[in-house]
Amino acid sequence: MPPLSTLAAPRRTGRAAAFLRHARHVITGNGVTAMAFGLFGLLLLVALVGPWLVPYDPMATNAAMALQPPSAAHWFGTDVIGRDIFSRVVVATRVDLLIALSSVALAGSLGLTLGLLAGWYGGLLDRVVGRVVDTIMAFPLFVLAMGIVAALGNSIGNVVLAMAIINLPFYLRVARAETNVRRGSGMVEAARISGNSDARILLVHMLPNILPPAMVQVSLNMGMAILNCAALSFIGLGVRPPEAEWGILVAEGAQYLMSGEWWVSFFPGLALMLSVFCFNLLGDGLRDLIDPRQRT
């Protein structure tokens, strides 16, 4: 009989190949999904390698080139102190995506874990989690984020924490509701009869069925996190200047719109719009990619 290691390797390879075939089917089977994944890939590429490819130092000033319109030398024009807007928009992509990914990862991991436990065990834990959700949702979420950042200070870490707190209830609710629905299902009863522990049932049987609706929420929260981060920076409570961030760039150019220097705010706003548009379209594709019932 061959060793177990030699049997496990082809099995893992087969699963990976099946998942890749399923991913190709999901992405290529819908034009909107393919466009969303293409935009997401472009955003990731810009965030990863863009800062090394920009034509100018995003912090370098040149008073002689202040408020120059878009041209071959400066594709997006320059701002009031002569900084290249294209370079600053590209560099800002990393900052905004980092804040959005970090906050959603923190809220998602904590929210799904607490929601799973609350829905599975019920009792006091379920009541406490429910009250936490009700308390957070009682506030206008952006106002709550403003209060957290104003109290703790406007650093990137505090912005991430504020975004995670206002996104936490969405994952708590999804995980808690889905676990309550499936707790008495035949799948769970069969797993119990087979001798599986609670931890194994939650991780192997519950979590894969909760992830599809959670991934739709992840996509929507990514877009909202980018918007809220830009809004906080726009009013002076987010990332601090002169750091390049889309909300800061829009705020810096807002006062020049009436005098005709439209490019200072337009291009950062366009990048912001495209990123939110991308994540709003990405949800259905992520759900189909993760959902085990979609794999044939």
pLDDT tens track for 32-66: 778 888 888 899 999 999 888 898 998 888 888 88
pLDDT for the residue 209: 83
The tens digit of pLDDT for each residue in 273-285 reads: 999 988 888 877 7
Residue 145 confidence (pLDDT) above 60: yes
pLDDT for the residue 3: 55
Question: Which residues are bridge partners to 84 per DSSP?
Answer: 78
Residue 292 confidence (pLDDT) above 60: no
The tens digit of pLDDT for each residue in 87-128 reads: 999 999 999 999 999 999 999 999 999 999 998 888 888 899
Note down the domain range covering 228: 4-294
Is 85:45 a contact under the CB 8 Å cutoff?
Answer: no
pLDDT for the residue 22: 61
Q: How far is CA 141 from the centre of its chain?
A: 17
| Mean pLDDT of the region 211-226 | 87
Is 244:252 a contact under the CB 8 Å cutoff?
Answer: no
pLDDT for the residue 17: 67
Pick the closest to residue 287 from 199, 187, 188, 220 (CA basis).
220
Q: How confident is the model at residue 2 (pLDDT cuts 50, 70, 90)?
A: low
Token output for 153: 């200070």
Q: How far apart are CA 289 and CA 275, in angstroms?
A: 20
Is 207:279 a contact under the CB 8 Å cutoff?
Answer: no
| Mean pLDDT of the region 164-178 | 91
Is 169:137 a contact under the CB 8 Å cutoff?
Answer: yes
Other CB atoms closer than 10 Å to residue 211's CB: what's the count?
22
pLDDT for the residue 294: 56
| Mean pLDDT of the region 241-268 | 88
Token output for 209: 């069925």
Residue 12 confidence (pLDDT) above 70: no
pLDDT over 70, % of the chain:
86
pLDDT for the residue 112: 92
Is 119:221 a contact under the CB 8 Å cutoff?
Answer: no
Is 83:244 a contact under the CB 8 Å cutoff?
Answer: no
Amino acid at 7: L
Other CB atoms closer than 10 Å to residue 264's CB: what's the count?
24
Q: How confident is the model at residue 231 (pLDDT cuts 50, 70, 90)?
A: very high
| Mean pLDDT of the region 71-90 | 92
Number of separate domains in the chain: 1
**Average pLDDT over all residues of the chain:** 85
| Mean pLDDT of the region 203-208 | 85
Pick the closest to residue 133 from 118, 123, 149, 150 (CA basis).
118
Of the candidate ranges 6-15, 25-34, 49-58, the one whose mean pLDDT is the lowest = 6-15
Is 227:144 a contact under the CB 8 Å cutoff?
Answer: no
Taking CA atoms, 150 is separated from 51, 230, 246, in Å, by: 30, 15, 20
Q: How confident is the model at residue 228 (pLDDT cuts 50, 70, 90)?
A: very high
Amino acid at 66: A
Pick the closest to residue 107 from 259, 247, 222 (CA basis).
222
CATH number, domain with residue 54: 1.10.3720.10
pLDDT for the residue 159: 93
Amino acid at 178: E
Is 79:264 a contact under the CB 8 Å cutoff?
Answer: yes
Q: Say what angle helices 141-152 and 207-234 make with each other, to 10 degrees.
A: 70
